[in-house]
Amino acid sequence: MKPNKSITIFIAVMLISFSSYLLNGQIRVGDPGVTFDRNLINQNKAQYPQIEKWITAGVRGGIPLKENLIVQRTIEEGASIDEINAAIRDVSKMGNKRNTILIKKGTYIVNKKITMKSNVSLIGESRSETIFEMHENFDNKAFNFERNTRFSGLYNMTIRGSRKWGDSSGFPKFTWNTSNSANDELNGSDNILVFFKESSDCWLDDVNLINAGRDPMRCNAKHNTFRGLIVDGAFSKSGGAQGYFFIQKGYNLITDCQMTHLRHFSLQGGGVEYNVVYDNEIKQEISFHVGDDGNNLIEKNKVVLPKDMSGSRSSASRSPDYFSIMGPWSIKHQNSARDNFLLNNSTLELQHNGASPFSRKNKVYHGPLKAKPADHSTNFKIDESKYPTPKGNTLYPVIVSPPAVVATKDLEPYFMILKDNQQFNVGDHIVVTVDASAKVDEVSLFYDGTLISSQNSTPYSWNKNSDFLGDLQEGIHELKAIIKGLDGDTKTISINIRVGSISTLSTEDLSSLEKKTLTVFPNPFIDQINLKNAEPGEEVSIHSMDGKLIQKEEINDSGSLELNHKLKAGIYLIVYKQNIYKLIKK
């Protein structure tokens, strides 16, 4: 008897939801039904009337819980962007904000805009394995939440730039902004991974935003929630608003996010007010960069500026000089119209000899005091006569479950950007980022058994300024991460990377590769190909260069594959286990 498709889909979404439930506790900030301590609101609102508006930031009514979503369509690997847009339009017409579209594991090449609609969300089958990757020639906004779009969002997926952008490594050449026009690596790219324009009550939940062409996210909209994001990297980080996680309007909620390797995490411009940045871990600065309207709240965040980040005593560059929380850094930029507020943040500026400004517990800092001050580390100050310690030591008195302590054995860590046996050239550089999948004590990265370093703050990311990763040497190298959980146990994950052309690798290297690498022959082909090292029973799919699925087959015992005889001469793509190979039809 054939399995019931609707039951299968239901089970898939429930598994996604159950995993999220285990890793995040019962109630998260931004969930439906989250409440605030009314006693503390009443005790503090005379001194801080803004508190009544801060508690309204984000999606009004909360982000729909994953376990309550109703799957109305399923998108299989190989679907085109046109097919995804058509499904979004169809489901939107049903008019239920709990309706969703399940995106199965696979890599979906974005070659045109994806336009989100009201009352429909997309949920990936796997955060690490449901991937939307930019086509190398796509230079536009990928996911678009346009004017009047409401109750729409993305869950549980990775959105990333093209692996063909930048140099041969596929990573941005510049890890950080160095005030150099060469930071504009894609020559004025307009690629924004996710763009919000006058939408409201929309969200990104448990999404990875990796190596955008220009900006990972721009939000020129009100009442949206950004939760559980991992944001890492942009190819263009030069002047003119490049490389931003960009908040451009008010009443948005940013919580439980991790960010690094951007030009700015910035709240800037007219209308930027009553945003709440709460309980995030940021490995770079938070900026009020230009002319916000004030009354934004930055509370309970951990902000670490890595040692290799630009700064006056940095190993990377003396300019620009970043500080953990900043106002405008140019006299040409307008200062905030009103005070913004900092409370119970923990900062650490490793490129400033371990300075930790704005970190006094239970003290309210206000500012920024001026544009381009002589000393950015004093640009927010404590004035207890004007802004005393709030009752309850919080200005965002949200009531949520305490964070769940996930047993190490239940963690599902993975390497976010790299794939096992990924090929690089000698001299390339890489960025290694590990998603531990829950709060852990630390993550240690090893290269061929040698410890690079251990990190105890997220995102767990190592770049070309780390040992071994900035100038890859020929051979097959093991990257191993040891994750130490909060219970003291450890879990290990590892992958190999291949450096150098196959013709130059050693006999031992080739022997190892032969067992793991898919070989497609003949290529060019006429009507049949053979797949060496393919596993019988696994699926393989053939696509046009624009990503459209042409054929999907299960690999037989012989490894041979008869191709559609109607295929015209040209170049095609074969996808096997998320790896893409080029095919040429004679």
Read off the DSSP letter of residue 281. Answer: E
Rounded Cα distance, 255 and 461, in Å? 19
User: What are the boundaries of each domain within the chain?
Assistant: 27-57+250-312+334-401, 67-226, 408-499, 507-585
Check residue 315 and give its pLDDT. 54
- Helix (H) or strand (E) run with residue 398 in it: strand 398-399
Q: Would you say residue 540 has pLDDT above 90?
A: no
For the cut 50, the answer to whether the pLDDT of residue 24 exceeds it is no
Residue 225 clears pLDDT 90, i.e. is over it? yes
The distance in angstroms from the start CA to the end CA of the chain is 42
Asked if 500 and 513 touch (Cβ cutoff 8 Å), the reply is no
The most confident of 105-109, 326-330, 372-376, by mean pLDDT? 105-109
Higher pLDDT, 170 or 363: 363
**Range among 78-92, 167-181, 464-478, 527-541 with highest mean pLDDT value:** 78-92
Q: What is the pLDDT of residues 416-445, one digit of tens each?
A: 989 999 999 999 999 999 999 889 999 999
* Least confident stretch, 371-380, 407-416, 431-440, 570-579: 570-579
- What is the band of 13 on the pLDDT scale with cuts at 50, 70, 90? low
Looking at domain 507-585, which CATH architecture does it have?
Sandwich (2.60)
- Tell me which of 3.40.1080.10, 2.60.40.10, 3.30.1280.10, 1.20.210.10 is the CATH number of domain 408-499: 2.60.40.10
Which range (166-170, 338-342, 430-434) has the least confidence? 166-170
Highest mean pLDDT among 14-18, 310-314, 377-381, 573-577: 377-381
Q: What is the pLDDT of residue 3?
A: 44
CA-to-CA distance for 491 and 482, rounded, in angstroms?
Answer: 6
Per-residue pLDDT at 294: 98
pLDDT grade for 517, boundaries at 50, 70 and 90: low
The reported pLDDT for the residue numbered 553 is: 85
Q: Edge-to-edge, what's the strand order for the sheet holding 114-116?
A: 114-116, 141-145, 192-200, 215-222, 244-247, 264-267, 286-287, 325-326
pLDDT at res. 575:
80
Q: Considering only residues 93 and 520, tell me which one the structure prediction assigns the higher pLDDT.
A: 93
465 closest CA partner among 147, 178, 67, 47:
178
How many whole angstroms separate alpha carbon 262 and alpha carbon 260? 6
∠ at Cα 145 (141, 149), nearest 5°?
Answer: 160
Question: Is the model's pLDDT at 6 over the cut of 60?
Answer: no
In whole numbers, what is the pLDDT of the chain averaged over residues? Answer: 89
Strand partners, 160: 133, 210
Lowest mean per-residue pLDDT among 258-262, 316-320, 352-356: 316-320
pLDDT computed for residue 18 by the predictor: 42
pLDDT band at 182 (very low <50, low <70, confident <90, very high): confident
Label residue 525 by pLDDT band (50, 70, 90). confident
Higher-scoring residue by pLDDT: 504, 327: 327
